Structure 1
Amino acid sequence: MPSTTPAPCAPDDVRRIACIGAGVIGGGWAAHFLARGYDVTAWDPAPDAEPKLRRLVAAAWPALERIGLAAGASPDRLTVAPTLAEAVADADFVQESAPEKLELKRSLLARLAAATRPGVVIASSTSGYPMTDMQTEAAGPDDAGRLVVGHPFNPPYLIPLVEVVGGERTDRAAVEWAARFYDLAGKSVITMDRELPGFIANRLQEALWREALHMVAAGEATVEDIDASITEGPGLRWAFMGPCLTFALAGGEGGMAHMLDHFGPSLKSPWTRLAAPELDPALRDAMVDGCAAAAGGRTYADLVAERDQGVIDVLRATGRLGGPR
């Protein structure tokens, strides 16, 4: 779709970002943008949203300091607005991170488009809804045209990837603007040419997750076995080389062609079950109990700190740790 309303500023001129929704994802976005030197205004309807958000930013800040902060970056540049309208009044970009409920996303995105200055791009952190399904209540073409998906990974302040894609009513210029902005904001951007429920990475994660649930449900492996099979095996390769290139190396000098010719017949082997198993109480309890055992007495805060340091170490070791903008 051709652009009908120009953005009020270029991606490299963005100064203030509105983070709508201040939970784990929205708060993680706020921490990331603050660390990149932006002013951030947040809004969340929960009565205790502000103290929770400030605690999240404070907990993330040591990791962000180890990565390296942009000039002028400070948690003090965070403002929590009392209303949605005040949160977006001066925003150059809006990141929506409300709960994953379709009707809520539809109404909220319509409200944001009505309250935000004309042309300001509004991105949703949805984990899987196509923008076409979420932009149905936007009043006019100019409103719907600036709604895009900007799907991050948790925690957004450390995991580089963001998947960007528009809906049927989205201006292509808005998608390109968002992709350029995220790149300047220190993210690793995949700009998708077409919508796909769950996008790319979540569909791959979901396939692995469903097979893990099947193995636990059938008593074929424990939670600890499954996690170790990734962290001590292919996960070490996936941290710097994706599954396709990893498989290509399995073909030796013949590359992917030899790998497919040699291992192609195994695709018909019963190595995976992509249909989701029934998440009955027994399977749920097995997963919960298994994760508790794997935690080994470590608290949530302990695990978050360990994860954050681990991601930093992997990024640094593989030369992909971005510096301040």
Structure 2
Amino acid sequence: MSKTPPPTAAVIGAGTIGLSWTALFAAHGMAVRVSDPRPDLAEAVDTALAQAAPQLARQGLDVRGLADRVRPADDVTDAVRHADVVQENGPEDADFKRELFATLVRAAPPHALLLSSSSAIPSSAFTGGLDDAGRILIGHPFNPPHLVPLVEVVPGERTSEDAVNRAVAFYRSVGRVPVVERKEIPGFVGNRLQNALSREAIHLVEQGVVSPSELDTIMVNSLGLRWSTVGPFLGAHLGGGPGGYRHMAEHIGPSMRRMWDSLGRPEQSPAQTERLIAAVEDAYGSRPYGELTQERDERQLAVLAALNTDTTTAPNEETRS
């Protein structure tokens, strides 16, 4: 029996996220067309592929001929003309996305999935006036998507069930862990959790409780370590001992709820924002961006290897209810 060839992908937007998607798709044998108005597109693609190749190889992927599977496109229409899957990574602006997806609907083949890496804007916010919104939905990754497994799959009001199922299957085929979210909400789940934690982190630094680097040290050596193996709910369930989450909620819950009232709401006035920026730059600004990202990625790969994560299967098998 002949093997089904991998789909053809179009990546729209060649920033950090788009270039990472490009490397991942190509490493899974896909032909990838990349579109971006940046004048250094070809150079940016070559650099990104060269940097990602060793990391992808450590994940067991064959990166021989990686660059041969990727071609810069003349424009968006050229990029999506023969695409089976389109991954959009444009600016976080609903008007921009509305105009771009109108072009994608016209130019991409009728069967092509149209996926957006939007970090906070639900697809219903930019698909209302489109004739063919059934194949448009959010596929929100975490940076960089060629290393971090999670993809939040968020259907819009008009997204078809078939498109959701196809999106889940596609992301699993490239080794990601897709989780379907049942309701649209700005920021989705991951970024809302991240922003809630960031708000308290900023408050603690503003109040002089800790410095930025000290707060990062606390996270890496406690919650970050725990949450890399179990999530907040399983962690709380285990924290309740043999009585589980029920014991935690009944015996520790009241004191935790009292703490909610004291959680901070950073003012972040211009002066406070500047002080925070200066403190972060003082902690980390002396090291080059490339050096810091390489160290982050190496550590993330080590965590994934230690966990031996099966990134082809989502934590839940359902798609959409």
Question: What is the TM-score with the length of structure 1 in the denominator?
Answer: 0.90
Shift of 1:273: 6.0
Q: Where does 1:135-284 land on structure 2 (aligned, <5 Å)? A: 135-138=127-130, 140=131, 143-271=132-260, 276-284=265-273
Structure-1 residue corresponding to 2:35:
43
Partners of 1:17 and 1:40 within 8 A in 2: yes
Structure-1 residue corresponding to 2:277:
288
Match of 2:118 among 123, 126, 132: 126
Shift of 1:218: 2.2
Gaps of 5+ in 1: 1-11
Shift of 1:15: 2.4
Deviations 1:2-42 (A, max 9, x none): xxxxxxxxxx7542100000001111111111122211100
Partners of 1:147 and 1:170 within 8 A in 2: yes
Shift of 1:144: 0.7
- RMSD over aligned CA atoms reads 1.9
SS of the residue 1:67 aligns to: coil
Identity %: 41
| Greater alpha carbon shift after TM alignment, 184-193 vs 148-157 | 184-193
Paired with 1:58 and 1:272, the residues of 2 have a C-alpha distance of 49
Partners of 2:177 and 2:311 within 8 A in 1: no
| Greater alpha carbon shift after TM alignment, 297-306 vs 310-319 | 297-306
Change (3 A) 1:113 1:274: farther
Match of 1:104 among 74, 91, 96: 96
Paired with 1:276 and 1:112, the residues of 2 have a C-alpha distance of 40
Change (3 A) 1:261 1:65: same
Paired with 1:80 and 1:137, the residues of 2 have a C-alpha distance of 30
Gaps of 5+ in 2: 313-321
Give the partner amino acid of 2:291: D
Paired with 2:107 and 2:151, the residues of 1 have a C-alpha distance of 25
SS of the residue 1:145 aligns to: coil
Partners of 1:30 and 1:40 within 8 A in 2: yes
Paired with 1:71 and 1:295, the residues of 2 have a C-alpha distance of 32
Partners of 2:84 and 2:111 within 8 A in 1: no
1:57 aligns with 2:52: no
SS of the residue 1:189 aligns to: strand
Shift of 1:252: 0.4
1:16 aligns with 2:8: yes
Give the partner amino acid of 1:127: S
Shift of 1:292: 2.5
Deviations 1:215-243 (A, max 9, x none): 12222221012111110111101011111
Partners of 1:315 and 1:321 within 8 A in 2: no
1:31 aligns with 2:20: no
User: How many pairs does the alignment contain?
Assistant: 309
Paired with 1:186 and 1:63, the residues of 2 have a C-alpha distance of 14
Partners of 2:119 and 2:140 within 8 A in 1: yes
Paired with 1:231 and 1:73, the residues of 2 have a C-alpha distance of 37
Question: What is the TM-score with the length of structure 2 in the denominator?
Answer: 0.91
Bigger relative CO (Cα 8 Å, ≥ 6 apart): 1
Change (3 A) 1:300 1:65: same
Structure-1 residue corresponding to 2:316:
none
